[in-house]
Amino acid sequence: MFTTVVVLLLMLSSAHCFRKCDQMVTKKDLNSGLIKIAEKPVASDEHDEENFKVDVSNTGPAVIWSEIDFLAELSAESVVINKKEFLYHWMNDADYTDILETTDNYRSNISSYMFDSELILPNKYQMKVCVYRQHKENIRVYRKIAENHTIFELTASLNGKAHIFQNVTHVNTTQGIFSTKRIIQHSVNLTDKFSSAHTYWFEWFIDGQRVETKENVNFFEFIHNRTGMCNIRVQVTMDLVDAQKKLKGTWSKSIYLEDEIQYVNILSSSETIIGEPIKLNITFDGSEVIVCWRILDLNNSTVHNRSCDEPKSRGWFLTPGIVLSPGQYIAEVTVTNDVSSISRQSQVMSVYNGGTGSSSPLAVPVIFSMLGLIVIIAAAAYFVRLKKKRDVEVADFDFHPEIQSTGSRIFNKIKGSVTDFFQRNDYLNRHRLARYHQTSAKSYGSLEDSNEHL
């Protein structure tokens, strides 16, 4: 408790004890002895009118006990390259160490500076840099030409960036939305820098439940099958051997998952009378979709521009309020959500005039189909009638060769079959003699034969 109070008092008084760039200081130079920083202007030279500017940056935020880099870049109207004639003084209000001094050209840096004091609290601090130029009249006299500072942050937890990636064919323009039933990769890139290697433990949690722990492996792959919100959290722990302590860092991210579209079906009427609306019945799966459509003729020319709607159900009935001239058309439909997109085309739709002057392209095939159906029905009826024909006992006689004419016999059979087809029912139902042509030839077993014998 006492230590914390002391640190807070030092922080509150930092504005009053922070060193100024124009303060009189002396530094021991290894080659030339003392170097004097002028408190008052010295005699002018040709560079007095030059305007110098210095920009200062750092690699923070950084966890306490890690290393951080600072960079100062000097600019001027005229730059003399490859000449180290500038003196840089660095000072900060985090640990109040002595002034750090570098002699450099237009670019100077302090690398791998570590704040490892137990008295330093996590907070934002300031690193100030003062730039001096050597005066030509006296090699040991330097004049201040620029100053600036950078704000750096020291943290109590590890620093880094978490990244979520999924490989999908559809380009997703909405951040934080991913697909179900596909691999999702969550990784963490730590940015803190240490002078020696350390062991890191990565623990991954899905919706609060720990699913995996890895050593020195900074990525995790998983598949989520449920739609809706999902929270991914990773906790990283590092063993800091030198300080006998552990450093930790936690990253959490909430994402939203949707189902991809797997199928799109389009049902449309094959023909429509001019003036009637085009009807499309579109069915699909997936979640949170948008349906876009346009009408094209068979030459792939657009006759109705693209239009998009948000359906309220998976089955969607569309009746475009457009009038098409006679011809043949197709509808091009695209169903899209945040994670997928599928395009389909309808069957050919024929638009024709409903008057007597025109006929449907399907009229001729329909007529021939009906004629074929009539022929099949007639043949079936004839076959059924033949099945019902009674058995008649006949005798085989050898007639005179002149009577047995092959051509006449075939003709008579055909003629008899046709006549029998139309008269068989009457003969069977009324028991009357069939109206056959009578010849002068005597029939076997006839009444005339009987009278002659008598």
- How many whole angstroms separate alpha carbon 145 and alpha carbon 50? 9
- How many whole angstroms separate alpha carbon 143 and alpha carbon 376? 116
SS3 of 143, please?
A: strand
Amino acid identity, residue 27? K
Q: Is 100 or 404 the better-scoring residue by pLDDT?
A: 100
- How many angstroms from the chain centroid is the CA of residue 75? 46
Q: What is the CATH number of domain 2-155?
A: 2.60.40.1930
Tell whether the torsion through CA atoms of 55, 59, 61 and 62 is positive or negative. Answer: negative
- Please report the pLDDT score of residue 186 as a whole number: 95
β-strand 62-63 against 141-155: which pairing, if any? Answer: parallel
Q: What is the CATH number of domain 264-352?
A: 2.60.40.10
160-258 and 264-352, same CATH topology: yes
DSSP single-letter state for residue 437: P
Select from 306, 303, 188, 196 the least CA-distant residue to 249.
188
- How many whole angstroms separate alpha carbon 403 and alpha carbon 147? 139
pLDDT interval class at 253 (50, 70, 90): very high
- Please report the pLDDT score of residue 4 as a whole number: 44
- Please report the pLDDT score of residue 157 as a whole number: 94
Inter-residue contact 39 to 21 (CB < 8 Å) = no
Q: What is the pLDDT of residues 3-37, one digit of tens each?
A: 444 444 444 444 445 567 765 445 545 455 555 55
- How many whole angstroms separate alpha carbon 202 and alpha carbon 238? 9
- How many whole angstroms separate alpha carbon 217 and alpha carbon 199? 10
Q: 347: which 2 tokens?
A: 């069957």
User: Quick one: CA torsion of 405, 408, 414, 416, rounded to 10 degrees?
Assistant: -100
* pLDDT mean across residues, the chain: 77
In CATH terms, the superfamily for domain 160-258 is Immunoglobulins (2.60.40.10)
- How many whole angstroms separate alpha carbon 129 and alpha carbon 354? 89
Q: What is the pLDDT of residues 152-204, one digit of tens each?
A: 999 999 999 999 999 888 877 678 899 999 999 999 999 999 988 888 999 99
This prediction has a pTM of 0.62
Residue 436 has pLDDT above 50, yes or no: no
What are the structural domain ranges in the chain?
A: 2-155, 160-258, 264-352, 374-388+396-450
Residue 442 has pLDDT above 70, yes or no: no
Q: Is 159 or 298 the better-scoring residue by pLDDT?
A: 159
